[in-house]
Chains A and B, each alone.
Chain A
Amino acid sequence: DTEVTQTPKHLVMGMTNKKSLKCEQHMGHRAMYWYKQKAKKPPELMFVYSYEKLSINESVPSRFSPECPNSSLLNLHLHALQPEDSALYLCASSQDMAKANYGYTFGSGTRLTVV
């Protein structure tokens, strides 16, 4: 299995809602990432988990809350989002955070719309 699976593919939520994005990989990768991507822009790093521990938080607002329940799963909990948070949210994994030369495997993303 060489895939990163993200669910749901599309999500529309109100500004008072609570929702979660899910990401799963079974490649034995020990680093997992959340990226946010706006239209016609490169991905922006949000969080990095290494060996199930949060290693990098790129000063992301607290309305985004990541969670890594085990080495295969990564969640992003959303609460009280703003319309400007509408974007494509990408999950990625790599063999090891310290081995940047391996590159990333990306999921196909969750298209989030905040209304």
Chain B
Amino acid sequence: AQSVTQPDIHITVSEGASLELRCNYSYGATPYLFWYVQSPGQGLQLLLKYFSGDTLVQGIKGFEAEFKRSQSSFNLRKPSVHWSDAAEYFCAVGDTNAGKSTFGDGTTLTVKP
């Protein structure tokens, strides 16, 4: 069965600092991988996705993620964090056969002034 692990429950970074959120997945075939962001009281917004091709994918809001098959990882990065990036971040893996995605438990990002 597919699974997603986000090792960091909570991360705090200073505004302007770089950010990396970790995601590890378990999936038998080529995975479809996603990062979503959720601001308090809101729905989830798709930041970026990977399913083939270039292993470095660019997303919205200045985010990027790198797929590393050898490490079963899909880490999210941003070179300079803004206060508005404070939110909950979810990594997810899509299962075409099952027709649904599995979400990680999420990482809460706090941005210090």
Contact = CB atoms under 8 A, between A and B. Distances in A.
Interface string B100-112: 1101111010000
Interface of B: 32, 34, 36, 41-46, 49, 51, 90, 94-96, 98-101, 103-106, 108
Nearest to B44: A106
Nearest to A9: B41
Given A90-B43, A109-B43, A100 B103 contact: no
Contacts of A101: 32, 49, 51, 94, 96
B42 A98 contact: no
Contacts, number: 68
A42 interface: yes
25 contacts: A6-B43, A40-B108, A41-B106, A42-B106, A43-B103, A45-B100, A48-B100, A50-B99, A55-B99, A90-B43, A92-B44, A97-B99, A98-B99, A99-B96, A100-B95, A100-B98, A100-B99, A100-B100, A101-B32, A101-B49, A103-B49, A103-B94, A104-B44, A109-B41, A111-B41
A42 B103 contact: yes
Given A42-B90, A101-B94, A103-B94, A56 B44 contact: no
A90 B39 CA distance: 14
A108 interface: yes
A45 to B, nearest CB: 6
Interface string A29-51: 00101000000111101001010
Size range of the chain A interface in the assembly: 20 to 34
B99 A106 contact: no
Chain B facing A: main interface SS: strand
Interface of A: 4, 6, 31, 33, 40-43, 45, 48, 50, 55-56, 88, 90, 92, 97-109, 111
A94 to B, nearest CB: 9
Given A40-B108, A108-B43, 10 more contacts: A6-B43, A41-B106, A48-B100, A100-B32, A101-B49, A101-B51, A104-B36, A104-B44, A107-B43, A108-B42
